[in-house]
Amino acid sequence: MNLVLIGYRGTGKSAIGRELGGVLGRPVVSIDAEIVREAGQSIADIVAGSGWGCFRDLEERACRRLGACDGLIIDCGGGVVEREANMDSLRKGSHVFWLRATPATIVARIRGDGSRPSLTGGKSFTEEVAEVLARREPLYRRLAHECIDTDDRRPAELARIIGDRFCVIAAHRP
């Protein structure tokens, strides 16, 4: 069984995933890093050159491939919920944790991160976060088995909580 982390940028997926790798002794795979590695270019360059649709196609292939694996901690990009096929690939044979944070926390954590292109164009960073988060929250809720609030909590603490829950679930899964 895989452990999957979903949520908006800045909710702690990567940091918590790294901690979970140590706690559970499992490999951690970032879908975004896999896409960058396979494409040979940054996400910003993929989107600038070929558009968000191309990026989402690459993401869907990565989700299908990683979702078919076993024993991974999968750190998903924030928009993984934008396609139903991704949700199907990731939910099957996995336990999905939605890492949630308030828009204020997200903005404070990722302000100045220029590694990702705008999702809405023309809006302030804070407006973009609020708008995209409002659109994606129902999708995160539908994909997730559990929701974990990450505001004012350290990655090591959250990794212990998630790791403990996952071990109980994995022990009772056929």
Q: Is the pLDDT of residue 120 over 60?
A: no
Domain at 2-172, CATH class: alpha beta
Q: Which amino acid, one-letter code, is at 62?
A: A
What is the pTM for the complete model shown? 0.90
Q: Which residues contact 160 (CB under 8 A, 6 or more apart)?
A: 23
Average pLDDT over residues 64-68: 95
DSSP 12-74: SHHHHHHHHHHHHT--EEEHHHHHHHHHTS-HHHHHHHH-HHHHHHHHHHHHHHHHTSSS-EE
**Can you give the residue ranges of every domain in the chain?**
2-172
pLDDT digits (tens, 9 = 90+) for 2-44: 999 999 999 999 999 999 999 999 999 999 999 999 999 999 9
- Residue 173 pLDDT: 79
Cα–Cα distance between 139 and 87 in angstroms, integer? Answer: 9
C-alpha 137/C-alpha 131 separation (Å) is 10
